[in-house]
Structure formats: C-alpha cells, structure tokens
Structure 1
Amino acid sequence: MRAVQGERQDHGWQRQVADARERFLTQQDVSADIVREPILASWSRSHRRGVEADRIDLPYVTDLDTDSPLVTCAAPILRQLGEQLQSEPVSILLTDAQGVVLDRVDSDSAIARYLDRVDLAPGFSYAEKWVGTNGIGTALSEGRPVLVHGPEHYAENLERLACAGVPIKHPVQGTVLGALDLTSWAGQSTAMMQALAGACAERIERGLLNTAGLTELALFREYLKTSQRTNGVVLAVNGDVVMMNEQARRTLSAADQHSLMEWAADVRDESAPVTLICDLPSGLVARLKYRPVNGRRGQLGGVVEVRFSKQPTAEPAVLLPRQNALPGLVGSSGVWQRCVAEVESCYRSREWLVLSGEAGTGKLALLRAVLARHDPAGHVRVLNGEDTRAPAAVDAWLDEVAAELEEDGALLIRHAERLCAEALIGLGDLLQAHALGGSTDGCWVALTLSTGPSGPAPDTETAAYLLPHFPHTVAVPSLRHHSEDVPELVPSLLAGLGRGHNLRFGFDAMQQLTRAPWPGNVAQLRSVLLELLNRRRSGTVHATDLPAEARSATRRQLSQLEALERDAIVRSLSSHGGNKTRACAELGMSRATIYRKIRDYGISGM
C-alpha cells in the first residue's frame, strides 16, 4: 500500500485542524468547514466527559476474555491480514464493546513501540470516555465506521497516528460486540485503511454467524426476509434477543427505539398475530404488526413491522396549553410541563404530595404557583424544616403544624430533609392522627425534599416517618435537564428582579446561558442575572459580558477556592483581550496549566 498525498495528509490542513482543536479546548468557536461533523461531535463528548487532552491515563483490565467467540473468530483473520501487510507500518487491533484491546497484530516494530508508549495495547481501554476522539472509541460511540486522522484525535499524544475503526456487531442480535481498528502513521496512512477495516470486520461477523444457535438463525432468516421486502422499521424478538434493522437505528431517537423494543418484548410470547398502536416519546404514533415465527420445536419468537403516523392519537394529558401557564412561572419544555401537570393533578385530587429535586430547582415556587392558579384567595402557610434545629423550637413548630392541619387551605413544609429527629417523629405522629380522623377535606399538605445531583433516596428516618402519609412523589427536573427553557426563564427572572427591562441578550450570551450546566439550578441563574444587573442595566449583553460563573461549563459545584481561581483566570483573560501568554505571566501559570484550567472550569467566550 502506498501513502496517499491528499487533503487529509496535507500539512496545511493538519495545522488548521490542530489550531481548531486548540480553539475548541479553550471554548472558542470552531469552523465546521475545517473540522468534520463527527469529529467535532466527538470532541464535544470528550470535553463533557472531562477527558484530558494533554495526557493519557487509561484503565487496565488484567482478566481479558480471550476465549470469547469474538476473539476466537477474529484471531485467524487478524493474523492473515497482518501477513498481507507485513511491509506496511500498520497495526491491527481488536477490542471488546468497552474499547478494551483484546488483541493486536503489528506489521512494523516502530509503530508497535509507539503504540506501547501510548498504551494502545491489550488490556487497556481506548473508549472515548478515557482517551477522547480516536478510531476505536469514536466508532463504538457512533456505532459506525470512523476514520480519525492526526490532529483530529482529542489527545495530543495521538496526533502522529491515523486510525480507522469499525464496530463489530452480532450478526443476529445486532448488538455491538467490539471494534476492529487499523492504525498507521498519520503521514503514511492510505485511502484503503477504512475499506480494509470494514472488510475485516465483515469477515469476523460472518464467522460469528456460524456460531449462532439454530433458533437464532431461523428467527434471523425471517427477520432478514421481512427487512428485504420493506423499507420500514423491522424488529425481531424472542426471550433472548431483540433485533432492530438499520432503518430504525438511523431514523429514530434512542428514546423511541427503546420504547419500541419494550412494546415488542411485551408481545413476544403471543402465538397469534397481534396489532398494537402506541405513542412514542417523540410524539410519533407507531402501529406495530407482530407475527409469530414457528419452527420444528415450536415458537421461535416473532417479527414486528412498524408504521408511523406523525400525529398523536390524542393530546398528551401531561402537556399544558401555554395560555394556561401557571402565574409567575415559565417553561414550555416537555419535562417541565409533565412535572407541572403531575403537581396539578395531585392538588385537584387533594392527594398529599412530596416534591423532590435538587436545591434551587423551584420546588416551593411551583407549589405556590399551583395554589395561586387553583385557589388564589386560599390560605397558604409555609413552614421550614430548618427552623426545628433552633434550640427549644420543636414544640412551637409542631404546634403550628397541628393548628394548620385543622384549617382549610394548604400547608407547605419546605426542606423536610432538614427536620431534626424529634420534629420528624412529631410530624409523623401529627399526620397519622390527622389521617385516623378520617378527614379527606380541609388542609392539603405538600413537602419539599432537596436531593443531591444524583437524586438520592430520602434517608431512612424520613422515609419511615413521613413518606407513608404522602401517596405521590413528583421529581422537579434540574435546570440542565430542561435547558431549552432558559430563554424563557431569563426575561421572567429579570422581571422578577424589577430591573433589566432595557437589557437585550445577544445570541452568543443566550447560547452560553443555555448550555451552562447550572449545578445550582434556577436559583443560580437568578444569582448570575443579579450580578450582571449590578454591572449593567441596558444595552446588548454578549458572552464576554456574563459573570465568570456563567462562562464556566463545569458540571459540578466548585469549591470556594476553585471558584476564586476560575474568576481570577476569567478576569486576567478579559483584561488581556484573551491573550493567554500575558494571562499566564500575570497569574504565574504555565501555558499547559492555564489551558487545563480553562478546560476543567469550562471557561468560554475567550
């Protein structure tokens, strides 16, 4: 094979891509004319996962499954290809579905030594979450063949390489078993690398087909026949496997695919044809026609053909018309509207409710808004679980609860997770006594319960004493899970602050606010807007005008020291017009350190 001197191998192109990667790592705009879409998408995933671009630190697996059907089928094929490429600087790699290298065949000692140096060797995982954009990890993440050349790699240590990766799929089940990758020097890569990798992967898949069971093969043949006579979505199911054709994978979202598989699994044991109509998460209506497949030993499973309608069978009950929006609240995303609908449903049925979610998501505001809409003149009392921690405060606090339970209206207890042990027991007793009194009217009670970012369950005592009295728990989504509502939230929050009517937000500023992770949720967004208002109250706001807190894309809550360091970097970069060399000198940091800090803190707009 002879190296191709084309656009991908042009040094000018490589320099452009390397510059684009540096811009990306410092949160600057990158032109899609320079960086290919799948590469840019992979860079974004790598950044979100916190992958280090200036070093490689990979997990190592000591107990490799070298006796699996994948390794057994692939071994002779890899050896044969290695012999054919003996005079070429190419290594052939086989990985499992997690990107762990299972086998490597080298045709050149120099590239083999370099691959050892960057841990591209058996036992190490080259999944995208560990090393960023690369032929193996990105092919597995994308589920399709990928060519990554030179500086398109996320990690600097891999710039000298070109990698062509192809997923290997189970020929019957369709699941990804691993990847086949050809790696060469970036300056000597060939136009045939991806084609060779694809052909090699196909040979491995054909070998795997010969190892499949008779039941799987019979069902697979029927699935293939159905797929060939229709251009629509086709699934095949039995107790062990679910197959889905490429049309489904290419045209449906992951949520819709998962929903279809669940519906298909529900009818897999039916012995007669069945037709189902179901609504998918995207709003599409799916018509599933299930047909059983029988063999000599009985039913083997079934094949499902799917047709779609763009209109739902009925308006989803969870969506609220915008004209009926809650007073003082905004948000039209599906996840927010579903939450609102569930809370309103609980109030209308007078069923007591626990509202859980991260701090700052607006749990109390949502409860107040529901009450303001349905009973604007009604009595509302808010008590705080935190208040029970004051000395000698528990008895008075419980007396207030007891009095409110005898009143019509609503009792809202916020920060239930902060109740002291004595108050927790006392509140449980009061709620139990109220329930034993048989009163179904009167006071409506709701608790708010703050959880951490991962949404942990309430502690044992809270669960034991309080939750049995509340038929429903509704989770309020974190702002990062309905970030499409940020453009509505910003003007609403500014209006609530009583200022900012003359402020306009440029596209870059609103885009930055929308993509920020907001670990402090709506409360943090409000705080950022208040800080902005303290500096300016009119004109157009751009990304560079936003407080440092809003220009950080880190998904975790920073410590006080980290926040101070981030703010210092932002101020220095701003004062030097984004010049990192001058900022390094002022801050006493090396360029490598400031680039790492910019990436770690997600600083953008510089």
Structure 2
Amino acid sequence: MHPDHLLKGSTAVEHPKRIASARERLLSGAPLPDRTVRSVIEASWQRCLSSRVDPQVAQHGQEFDEHQLQALVRPHQELISASDIIMREAQSLLAESGTIMHLVSPAGLILRYEGDPATLELARRVSLVPGADWNEAVAGTNAIGTALSTGRALQVHAFEHFCENISRWTCSAAVIRDPFEGTLLGAVNISGLKETLHDYCLALALSGARRIEGQLAQHKLAQRDLLIDLTIGRLGAPGNDALLLFDRQGRLVRANHQAEKVLAARGIQIDLNPHNPLLNLGEDADAPAPAAAAPSPLSRLDPSWIEPILHQGEPIGFLAVIPMPVRSARTPASTSNKTEAAAGFARLAGRSPQFLKTVEQARRLARAPIPVLLLGETGVGKELFARAIHEEGPTHAGPFIALNCGGLSRDLLAGELFGHIEGSFTGARRGGMTGKIEAANGGTLFLDEIGEMPLDLQPMFLRVLQEMEICRIGETRPRKVNFRLIAATNRNLNQEVADGRFRMDLYYRVSSMILTIPPLRERREDIAVLAAHILAHLHDQHGGGKKHLSPTLVARLTARPWTGNIRELTNLITAAFFLSDRDELGPDDLPDEPPQGVDTPPAPSQNPLDMAEKEVIMRAIQEQNGNLTRVAKQLDIAKSTLYAKLRKYGLQRP
C-alpha cells in the first residue's frame, strides 16, 4: 500500500484546518503550497474541477424506486452473493465502531450496505444508500469514487472530500477485481462520521475485498466443474466436429481432440491451451490495473456454431460445434489421447489400506466385460474409477461417454440417452442428434446418478441392455450397439427398489458387479497424498514455483468432515494454489471459513423462519416418499440447494 493512500500521520488528521484552507485556495484558483495535501487527494481535486463537480453538495444521480433499484442491482448478483458472509460477519464490529460497510459496483453505484443503525440513518441524509452514484465525476473526491478511479485502496477524511456537505465523514475503500481476469468488479467501503476514524478501517475494507475475491474464485471454479460435468459426454464422443467449451465470460475451458485439425482447416486462429489464470490479487494494492482482457475467441466463430449450456434454466457457458469443412471430410479422425488413456489406475492417488483394496477390486472388475455399479457419496471420484476401469478393460480402444442422470428433465434425459431424428419434436436439432448410448458404441457408457433416472425411462433403457439395439426418438428402425455399462449412484438402490422408485430387473442388469468407493473421511491418511497430487497437477498445468502443505495445514485438512469428499478437497487446494504467493501453504491460505471438527454435526437452527423452512422440507420429503428429485421440483429449488438445506438442518437423506 502506497503511504500516500494512508491517513496515519497525515495533515488531514493532525491539521484538518490546513486541508480546509487548501481546498478553499484551490476553489479560488490559487495554487496549492507543496505537500499541503496528499498527492492522491490533490490529483482527485483537479479531476473534480475538470469535471465541474459542485463543491458544495455531492450529486448522486436520480432517485430510484424499489423496482428500478432491483433492475440496477440484478447484473451484480454474483458479486452481492459473494459478499453475503463478509458483510454478515462484519456486522458486530461495524455496530461497535459506529461505521457502515458498502458494496459498490465498478461504476460507483452502491449495491448494498450494512452496519450501525444510527450511522445508517445519517448516511441516508447524504445519499450513502443503495442506488446512489458515488463516482468521483459526480460525487467528488471520496473513498469509493477515487478508489475506483485510481484502481487502488485509499482513505479519504473530512475536508479531503471535495464536496462540503460530506466533509463530516471519513471513509476507506478497497477495490474488488475479477479473480480470473483482474478486471475491476467494484469496491468495499467503510464509512462513518469523522470522529469514528480508526486505523483498522482500511484494513477491514481490504480484507473484505480480498475475501469477496476468494468467494468469487471458488464460485467460478465450481461453475467450471459443473460446465465440464454437463458436457463431458459430448466432448469425449467420437466424430469429426471440433468441440470447444467456453465459460460464461467466453474463456476457453476445454477442447476435444479434433479441435486443432478443424480450426486449422478453416484457418481460425485460437489458442487451444485452456488455462485457469486465477490472479494473485490483493498482494500489492498499488500494482497497476491489468490490461483489458483480450476479446473472447467466441467473437471469431460463426454464431450458428454456438449453443448455450444451461443449468436450471440459466446459461453457464457455451459449446461451439465447428464442423470439418467438406474438403477435409475424408481426413481420418485422430485417435484419443494415448497419454491419458495409458494412465488408468495410476491416476488414482492414495495409500490407505481401504483405498488400495478398492483399487485392486476395480482392477479385477476391469478385466471382466460385464456391467459395474459404483457406489459412493458425491465427490468420492466415481467417474475417475469408471475411466480407469474403461482404460484397463476390454473396451479401452473405444470411446468413454459419460452422462449424469441427475438434474435433467425427463425429456432432456431421454434425448441425451437415445438421441433423436430431425423433426421428431419442436426444437429438434437439424440433422438429428446422436444419443450417448449410440455414441458409446464400441466403448463404455458411464451413467452417473443412475438412481435419478425417471421410472418411465427405465424399461426403455432395460430393453437396450437386453437387445443391444436402440431406436432414436422419432425413429422406428433399430440401430445395433455394443458397449460396456458402468453406472454409479450415491443412493441405496435396494431401498429404491423396495420403495418402487427403481425397477428390480434393471437393478440386477446394472449391478452384475458392485464396487463401493470409500468416502474421504474414512481414508484420512490419504488427504496429504491427494493434496500433494493435486498441487503437482496444478504445477504441471500452470507452472510457477512448486508448492507444498505445511504440517499445520495438513492437520487442519485432516480434521475436516469432507462432506464434499475429493471434489471439495480439489476445489479448496486449487483456490489456495492460485490465491497464495507462498511456496508453503498454511491454514491462512484456505479461501473458506475455518473447518468444523470431524464430529461436529450441523447445529440446528432456532430461527423461526429456518424452523418453518425445515418443516416444509420434511413435509415435502414425506409427501414425495423420499424422492429428492420430486421434492426439489415441488419446492421449486435446485437439487444442489436441497442437499445444502438437508445438511444445514441436519436432515438425513432418505
């Protein structure tokens, strides 16, 4: 932090009348004596003069009604959600110190505020409220607007404000940047009357901004994981088309093996090295702002090639399907990545006896050309085991096609499984679509969350397994297929059969061999091994100095309950890898809240609203006979949200 941006020992604090006098000289057109005010403040005052800011009363734009305010705030919902826990945890400190905290958009619009009730009332009198514009060009020198203008954290105190009507206030602001691109997303501001000036105000603003960036990083990494999960089957399917997966911001996430060939044939220049450049934000608050992000490669592609990837009705990314030009149609398709295929069980890290026993069982199952059912909690690595079984099994030369049966509507799942012909229904793809079953011909079909398959689709899939032939939707001519099935679930399928939610004959078809994968909490001696494996993989992908875990962090990780298993560990280590500049990662580098103890159950909420919500969920579970897919639909929430609420209220999944 540049000392010019701090108040401690400055004239603004020790000699406020000099600042007021200097401001009057500036407004009268007289030159300022050297070093009367901090250079960052003088530069801001000069910008205010150039912008013809009213020196008496700060202007904050028009007033908005509730509906208009919601429309203004909506584009920043991701930023607002990331700030929830930070603003909630700061509440008591703000109340004790007589200050308030603001979350601000990159344009200077206040999005939300929390803090001391008496100070909130005073803030309303000077428009320090949601919907008000505190851009420097309209509100004069102030911590919010000047921090956004300079891209740096700073404090502004009393008469350093350009506009006289806010000279009773002191404020400290720190900017928030996108953890991937470094672009400006907004700011955190701490304000109070000038008598409330504290040394820690700027530190609190900086800490809040950094934690929001950490929350955004975790969310974006989870979004990328979800995006890959939703498209991995298509990316791994055989064919001559190039498939490029982009996130919502247009950054390349993944490309299939045909991409380089097709793009070269079409003369399209796109860097096909997906990267995940989480920046080391916040380490140097005076570092210059990053250059503007390069235009997305999406802008160089024909719009007709691009289709949105939806989750719960909202686009979370885009898949570009680029056909091979006709002149290159006879070029043989490249083979699958042999380096990856050769990995097999070698990519599974661990040394605990239980894990090694599971791997040995999986090796034996891989050699048998029969269906395998993988059992295990969410995030234990069922797909990694499925890929290893495929790569060391009799169908290793064929494709590995994955499909998650959960989270898809009945009709969408049917289309993904069986495919369709052109014109079979409204919105059917021109030329039809190959389903996952057909795409897996000669290889392996991996169906995750098979217990979520709708009951009326189960006999259709059972017939495919019995006859090894398939009819696309809208088609009567059967097509012969030959594939190995690997299914996975975190449900008790025996209980699902007993409750009438899963067909017994299908259960016996998919469960010729059963492999149970242990949760991470039952193989705690593997946590350090897995973390080191993840760090090594990140180093290979992104370079930089090699990092390792401190003994304290290993102990902290070992004590976590790991409800998200290996996926949770991967996200945690990945975020720490990118957000820390140290070679040895410690507990302070964890991006989330301190973990709970192993045996600490979710505390039951005593909040009346929470108790009412818990009762509604329990009643819905009873009405739907424990079918969580139908419970989520009845409550009009995502299944992932439902699972989170089950954990929150300590409810056992049926």
Q: TM-score, normalised by structure 2?
A: 0.34
Q: TM-score, normalised by structure 1?
A: 0.36
